[in-house]
Amino acid sequence: MVDSIVSVRMPSSLVQRLKQLSKDNHFLDVSEEIRSIVKSKIRTYRQQAGEPVTEEPHAKKKEDFKTENVVKEELVKRLKQMIKELEHD
């Protein structure tokens, strides 16, 4: 897969909304949120057109992604606390 950089002009309100969505969905940046939205819409349009929709083997549902990231964040938080406790001993 070839990666490309694309520049797109957007109203500032849209950019702010995308930033908030990317934060809420635990994405690293706006581009990941946009890719997620585009993939979701492609799937929807294909279903509406009657095309068979095959899920990517490594694709996860958004809820699973959120849950996984929340668990990882909690784990990191606990590990940092353990490190801090070990440093003070």
**Type of residue found at 50:** G
**Please, which residues have CB within 8 angstroms of residue 46's CB and are 6 or more apart in sequence?**
53
- What confidence tier does 13 reach under pLDDT thresholds 50, 70, 90? very high
Q: What residues does each domain of the chain span?
A: 10-54, 57-89
pLDDT of res. 63 = 57
| Global pTM value | 0.54
Summarised one tens digit per residue, pLDDT across range 16-51 is 999 999 998 888 889 999 989 999 899 889 888 888
pLDDT of res. 55 = 64
Average pLDDT over residues 79-86: 87
Residue 58 has pLDDT above 80, yes or no: no
* Residue 32 near residue 21 (C-beta atoms within 8 A): no
pLDDT of res. 73 = 84
* Residue 29 near residue 22 (C-beta atoms within 8 A): yes
